[in-house]
Amino acid sequence: MRYTPTKVAGVTIIDHEPQRDHRGFSARSFCAHEFARYGLTFDVAQTNIFFNYTRGTVRGLHRQAPPYPEAKLVRCTRGAIAAVVVDVRPESQTYGDQLMMELSGDDHRTLHLPPYVAHGFQTLIDDTEVSYQVSGQHVPAAEEGFRWSDPEFGIVWPLPVTVISEQDASWPSRTPELASVDSEALMLMGVDILRAERVNGRS
C-alpha cells in the first residue's frame, strides 16, 4: 500500500497496490503492522455501511468529540463521493484547514481520518455505497455535528444538495449571523425528496 500525507495533520490517503492476473486482482486493504510504521495506530472496533439512493446526497459534517477518540478508514465501495475533512481541533497545527477529494468504487482508495476531525461526504452518483471502519465504540452523547454550509468553512460542494437528513440540516452554524435562510430551505427540500422516494417504494 502507498501512504500519502495530506495538508490536514493525520489525514492520510491510502492507495492499494493490486496484484493482477487473468482472474482479476487481489490487494491488501489493511495491515496493522504497516499502519504502525506510518504512525497510523488503528484498532478496528466497528465497520459501518452507508447506502445512498440519490446523487447530491450530503452526510455530515460529523465527529465524535473528546474524550472519546474515533479514527476512521473511509472507502467508497460503489459509485463515487466527494469526501470532505475539516480540522476543527484547536490544538492542531493545521486547525482550520480542510480537504476535499473524490473516492470511488473504481479507485479502491481509502482515506484515514484521525480522531476529532470533522468529516462528511456528497454522493456524485446514484446508488452509492460508503464503508467506514471505526477505531472506537460509538458514544451517542459525544456525537458532534457542523453545518455543511457553514460560512466559516466555505466548502464548495461539487453538486447542488438534493438530500440531507433532518439531523444534519439542524446542526448549528459556527457563524449563525451569516447563515443563509435559502440554504436551510434547500436542505429541508432535500429531506422531503428523500421521504417521497421512500414512500414510493425505493427504501
Residues with catalytic roles: 62, 132
Range 2-199: architecture per CATH = Sandwich (2.60)
Query: Per-residue pLDDT tens for 50-97?
Result: 999 999 999 999 999 999 999 999 999 999 999 999 999 999 999 999
Q: Can you say whether residue 96 is alpha, beta or left, with left for phi > 0 and alpha for psi between -120 and 50 degrees?
A: left
Of 89, 93, 81, 137, residue with least CA distance to 117: 89
CB 29 within 8 A of CB 122: no
Answer yes or no: is pLDDT of 156 > 80: yes
**Does residue 175 or residue 197 have the better pLDDT?**
175
Query: Per-residue pLDDT tens for 102-142?
Result: 999 999 999 999 999 999 999 999 999 999 999 988 899 99
Answer yes or no: is pLDDT of 190 > 90: no
DSSP E strands in 23-153: the ranges are 24-26, 46-52, 58-64, 72-78, 80-86, 98-104, 110-113, 118-123, 128-134, 143-145
Computed over its alpha carbons, how large is the radius of gyration of the chain? 17
Domain boundaries, the chain: 2-199
Residue 184: the pLDDT is 46
Residue-level length of the chain: 203
Alpha-carbon distance of 167 to 151, in angstroms, equals: 19
CA pseudo-torsion sign 5, 174, 59, 183: negative
User: What letter represents residue 5's amino acid?
Assistant: P
Query: Per-residue pLDDT tens for 22-34?
Result: 999 888 888 888 8
